[in-house]
Structure 1
Amino acid sequence: MGIVPAGTPCWTDLATPDLDDARRFYPELFGWTGRIAPEPEAGGYTLFLRHGRAVAGAGPPAIPEQVPIWSVYIATDDADLVAGRVEQAGGQLVVPPFDVFDRGRMAVFSDPAGATVSVWQPMTMPGGEVFGVPGAMSWTELVTPDPEGAKTFYELVFGWQPDDQPTGSAGHTGWRLGSRIVAGMTAPLGDFPADSPAYWSVYFGVADVDAAAARAAALGGAILVPPRDVPAGRCTALRDPQGALFHVITPP
């Protein structure tokens, strides 16, 4: 049984070609500690902990040519059932459901616009153990050029209902599951290439966005979008030293 309900983002992890540098960069940025999985087959997969509680992970890329990327996982009670829904709704099953040791069962799929997302059916590892505080995942958002198609797809797969402009931000949609907004969706920026796939983005909470951006740059990362104020708070888009995109945010 997971800590978050089924249909809710529950985990994020990084695929990177330089795992050693990720173990340096992110702990220095967020104050995390790392715990390396003992199984040789795990390839050095590392749990990042905040005050001893799991907040994120990092591991080697699944294939050598994979670009460095943070992935979003949605909690589920049945990964195989979700995989069937994905295909029926017009998505693509990228990695069929499989067991991750005794930790859980997962699958990877892409929506019709190309955004890749994973599902996590917990066993001994519930996913993230703390959310919405500095140093932990605080928000996830789909960036897509086809919001109408996404509304149909994610309702069929997870039962999400679109809630347009839940924070008063034009062009922004909240994904509602029951009474809760569990994630968001927005259109890409104006310079988004027309043939680029959609993607899921992850936001980590910080106490001071401007200080975190400066710290990331000093550690070898890059500021992709300078800190700015939005209805949900103050945020910035960053890249780590290997180029993986992530965001940091401070609520208002």
Structure 2
Amino acid sequence: MAAQPEGTPCWADAMFPDLEAAKSFYGELLGWTFDEASEEYGYYTQARSGGKIVAALTPQMPGVEGPAAWNLYFATPDATATATKIRDNGGALTMDPMTVGEFGTMVTAQDPSGVHFSVWQAASHEGFEKIGEPGSYAWADLITRDVEKADRFFPTVFPFEVQRMKHEAVDFHLWSVGGKPVAGRMKMTDDFPPDTPPYINVHFAVDNCDDAVATVTKLGGQVTSAAMDSPFGRFASVMDQQGAAFSVIDLQTTKGEMPEWES
């Protein structure tokens, strides 16, 4: 598997106060199995779907506060150069480039609008081994109120080609790399509680959106936006029982016409 082009989402992980509860939740919801974790890497636990690595769960580090949250990594050929771009364009580094064994080099950061994200320069670990199939990563949207700051920042740090959705009621930008859509930027509306921080909403693919929503609630999670149809698939926004927000999407069940875009 070749390393992903610069700016492509290549990995996702989340930190939980209760790792075993998280494994139980995502194991039942997404059918994940989990690798053995070692103390050397802080019990960082890779998840697999059909034998292929698709994400990771990790215990919350001492001193870290707040609810669990999913974290998205963007690929880079040079983590140090990307870290410089982040700083030069008004972002903040929450962790300088750090080599992680033989696996690669990571950076954690925050954009000027307050969105947390990470950067990954692959070595032996090149990221997702499966994408867009049930049980794996499917898509991600950056959701923020301060779209002007995000719009200046991300296409400068990463080689994003930007298109705007032609829709009066929705402020949405599509980010592409080499002509391939990789992620989106959505303006947070008044439908979100006023204390909701900006975040990246990771979508995981499922066989059936409504069944997945039922499983989320059965396992103690919450539905934050009810299942709805779209040209991209039927999806719902949810939260696990430890507060990590994400979406589930059935990519095969589509409805409606694709939107029009403009540069």
TM bucket normalised to smaller: over 0.9
Superposition deviation, residue 74 in structure 1: 0.4
Mean Cα deviation higher: 83-92 or 157-166: 157-166
| CA spacing shift, 1:135–1:59, aligned 2, 3 Å | same
Letter in 2 for 1:50: S
Residue aligning to 1:205:
205
In the alignment, is the contact (CA less than 8 A) between 2:6 and 2:159 conserved in 1?
Answer: no
Superposition deviation, residue 231 in structure 1: 3.4
Mean Cα deviation higher: 158-167 or 173-182: 158-167
Residue aligning to 1:87:
87
Superposition deviation, residue 126 in structure 1: 0.9
Show CA shifts across 1:132-191 (max 9, x none): 111100001100112232222111100212211189983221012221111001111214
For residues 226 and 88 of structure 1, what CA distance do their matches in structure 2 show?
Answer: 39
Residue aligning to 2:153:
153
Residue aligning to 2:44:
45
Letter in 2 for 1:120: W
Secondary structure in 1 matching 2:229: strand
Structure 2 residues without counterparts, runs of 5 or longer: 255-263
Residue aligning to 1:75:
75
For residues 61 and 190 of structure 1, what CA distance do their matches in structure 2 show?
Answer: 31
Match status 1:129 vs 2:134: no
Equivalent pairs, count: 251
Residue aligning to 1:243:
243
Letter in 2 for 1:114: G
Q: CA RMSD in A?
A: 1.9
Residue aligning to 2:142:
142
Residue aligning to 2:231:
231
For residues 245 and 195 of structure 1, what CA distance do their matches in structure 2 show?
Answer: 14
Match status 1:218 vs 2:198: no
Show CA shifts across 1:3-59 (max 9, x none): 422210001001111001111110111111100333x13222110001110000000
Residue aligning to 1:118:
118
| CA spacing shift, 1:193–1:206, aligned 2, 3 Å | closer
For residues 28 and 114 of structure 2, what CA distance do their matches in structure 1 show?
Answer: 33
Secondary structure in 2 matching 1:77: coil
For residues 210 and 193 of structure 1, what CA distance do their matches in structure 2 show?
Answer: 24
Residue aligning to 1:54:
53
| CA spacing shift, 1:155–1:190, aligned 2, 3 Å | same
Residue aligning to 2:259:
none
| CA spacing shift, 1:222–1:29, aligned 2, 3 Å | same
| CA spacing shift, 1:73–1:20, aligned 2, 3 Å | same
Residue aligning to 2:31:
31
Superposition deviation, residue 66 in structure 1: 3.7
Mean Cα deviation higher: 193-202 or 3-12: 193-202
Residue aligning to 1:178:
178
Match status 1:65 vs 2:65: yes
Percent sequence identity over aligned pairs: 38
Superposition deviation, residue 110 in structure 1: 0.5
In the alignment, is the contact (CA less than 8 A) between 1:175 and 1:181 conserved in 2?
Answer: yes
For residues 93 and 26 of structure 1, what CA distance do their matches in structure 2 show?
Answer: 30
For residues 145 and 219 of structure 2, what CA distance do their matches in structure 1 show?
Answer: 33
TM-score (norm 1): 0.93
| CA spacing shift, 1:172–1:135, aligned 2, 3 Å | same
Mean Cα deviation higher: 11-20 or 143-152: 143-152
Mean Cα deviation higher: 196-205 or 162-171: 162-171
For residues 3 and 49 of structure 1, what CA distance do their matches in structure 2 show?
Answer: 19
| CA spacing shift, 1:83–1:16, aligned 2, 3 Å | same
In the alignment, is the contact (CA less than 8 A) between 1:166 and 1:174 conserved in 2?
Answer: no
Structure 1 residues without counterparts, runs of 5 or longer: none
Secondary structure in 2 matching 1:36: coil
For residues 246 and 196 of structure 1, what CA distance do their matches in structure 2 show?
Answer: 14
Secondary structure in 1 matching 2:23: helix
Residue aligning to 1:99:
99
TM-score (norm 2): 0.90
